[in-house]
Each structure stands twice: as C-alpha cells, then as structure tokens.
Amino acid sequence: MRTPIIAGNWKMNKTAVEAVTFSNEIKDALNQIEGVDIVFCPPAINIPGVAEAVKGTKIGVGAQNMYFEESGAFTGELAPNMLTPFCQYVILGHSERRAYFGETDEGVNKKIKAALAHNLTPMVCVGESLEQNEAGETQSFVSGQVKAAFAGLTAVQAARCIIAYEPIWAIGTGKSATVEQAGGIIKTAVRDTIAELFGAETAAQIRIQYGGSVKPHNIADYMAHPDIDGALVGGASLKPGFVELVANAT
C-alpha cells in the first residue's frame, strides 16, 4: 500500500554538464524498475537541466532546500513557486543544513507548510548525533524533531509528507545503522509519533525512509523491514551503481 521511494541526494556534487550526462546515462535503466518511486535531487542550479533530461520517465525531481517565503529580499534563497515548474519534491531539514546553515525546527516547520501549499512533497529529515545516540537520547530527540516539524499540520497534510530518518553518525561514514536500529527508531520514534499526533490511519499512510550509508549491497535488508519505505541516498546516488541499488530495493 505504501509505494517505496528511493531518492538520490546529490548534495553539492556535479556541474550542470555532469548532472545532465549522468541523468541520461542511468535514466532508461531506472525507468524500467517497477514498484518503486525514484527521485533525483541535484544542486539547485542543475534542477532545470535534470528535469529536462528525465522528462517522460518515471523519475521525479527534488530540490535539496527551499525558503518558505513567496518572494522578496532574501538573497540567495529559492521560493516554492520557483521550484514547482521542475520539481515534485523538496528535501527539508537535512542534518547538513541544520549543522552548517543554521536550519531550525521552526524554519523546517514553516518550509513544510510552504511546500505543501505549493503541492511539493516534502522529504523531512530527522536524526540524532553520535553523542545523542550514545547518551540514549535517540528516541526522545527524534520524536521531538518530528513533533516540531509537523506542528500545526492537518492529518491530510501530514500523510502527504515523506520523512527520512537519517542518524547523523551514519551519513557519509560508511557506518550504516543496523536494520534493527533503523527500523526500531522509524517505528517507535517516527511512525508512532505520527500516530500520536494524527492517528493510526495517517501513521499507516506516511512513507518513512532510512538514510545513512545506504549502498547497493544493504538496501534490500532495509527494505525488508515493514516500517522502512525506501531510502534517502547520498554518496551511492552519484554513481551508475545507483541503478543496482534501486533494483535491489524491489
């Protein structure tokens, strides 16, 4: 009932030419993989080129960030309606944005509302640091991030979102969470929190991804967990092996 979704977060990688070349290289193979939604999230300036390259395929396009205002004096930012001609998705609250660019729970909440108002599907990132993990704070911290991100939303709005649980210590480190760790937190801190906020039906509908060193060889293990509905993939989404990763997810 929940279609799995694998999104490639390219982060700050690939020039415009590289982004289009790479999209053209892997799009046909990806387009043939059934039973999974696929999204490319290139750097903002490469979004139009990638959107053009994947036109006519099943591959969706997402931005890596967005501002919540409609327009105005916000130098360097992008408004929701600047994304909508090219994107169906937008990553919001990625831990790198929280850590390096001052992204707050409050800002993430405003951005989710703005994205939904423009029919963009937010991919809302949550996840604990190594220190929090070792201090036994994962459950309460992640649940708190979900509550802050979803404050003031209706159940219908919440069900339209995607949540990516990404333990910070697993991102880009090659040290992925075990399926038990990831699936456990996704169930108890993410899905159960959505149930508490919006009811069991919404919790059963919302798609929750795992992210953090997902590779072609471990994706199938995550997908076998009943609460994991896909992955947000960084490093492994930049290489042709992404095709194998997505194929292994189904």
The total number of residues written for the chain in this structure: 250
Which CB atom, from 202 or from 229, has the smaller least distance to ligand PGA? Answer: 229
Helices 105-117 and 138-149, packing angle to 10 deg: 40
User: Candidates 43-51, 129-137, 207-215, 217-225 — which segment interacts with ligand PGA by CB under 6 A?
Assistant: 207-215
Element housing 25 (H / E): helix 16-31
118 in active site: no
Residue 188 Cβ vs ligand PGA, minimum distance, rounded to whole Å: 22
Residue 87 Cβ vs ligand PGA, minimum distance, rounded to whole Å: 17
> Is 214 an interacting residue with respect to ligand PGA (CB under 6 A)?
yes
207 strand-pairing partners: 162
| Footprint (CB under 6 A) of ligand PGA, residues 220-239 | 232-236
Residue 67 three-state SS: coil
Catalytic residue among 94, 96, 103, 128: 94
Residue 188 carries which side chain, given as an amino acid letter? T
Q: Other CB atoms closer than 10 Å to residue 128's CB: what's the count? A: 24
Residue 197 Cβ vs ligand PGA, minimum distance, rounded to whole Å: 24
- How big is the site for ligand PGA, counted in residues (CB under 6 A)? 13
| Footprint (CB under 6 A) of ligand PGA, residues 1-60 | 9
Do 236 and 214 meet the contact criterion of CB atoms below 8 Å apart?
Answer: yes
94 in active site: yes
- Distance of alpha carbon 81 from alpha carbon 79, whole angstroms: 6
Catalytic residue among 96, 103, 128, 166: 166
- Dihedral sign from CA coordinates of 114, 66, 1, 143: negative
Which CB atom, from 46 or from 202, has the smaller least distance to ligand PGA? Answer: 46
Binding test (CB under 6 A) with ligand PGA, winner from 60, 93, 127, 211: 211
Angle of CA points 155, 156, 159, to nearest 5°: 85
- Distance of alpha carbon 86 from alpha carbon 42, whole angstroms: 11
Element housing 135 (H / E): none
Which residue's Cβ lies closest to ligand PGA? 234
Which CB atom, from 51 or from 214, has the smaller least distance to ligand PGA? Answer: 214
> Is 127 an interacting residue with respect to ligand PGA (CB under 6 A)?
no
> Is 93 an interacting residue with respect to ligand PGA (CB under 6 A)?
no
Which CB atom, from 66 or from 232, has the smaller least distance to ligand PGA? Answer: 232
Binding test (CB under 6 A) with ligand PGA, winner from 93, 183, 212, 216: 212
Do 36 and 230 meet the contact criterion of CB atoms below 8 Å apart?
Answer: yes
| Footprint (CB under 6 A) of ligand PGA, residues 135-174 | 166, 171-172
Q: Other CB atoms closer than 10 Å to residue 56's CB: what's the count? A: 8
- Which residues are part of the catalytic machinery? 94, 166
Residues that bind ligand PGA (CB under 6 A): 9, 166, 171-172, 211-214, 232-236
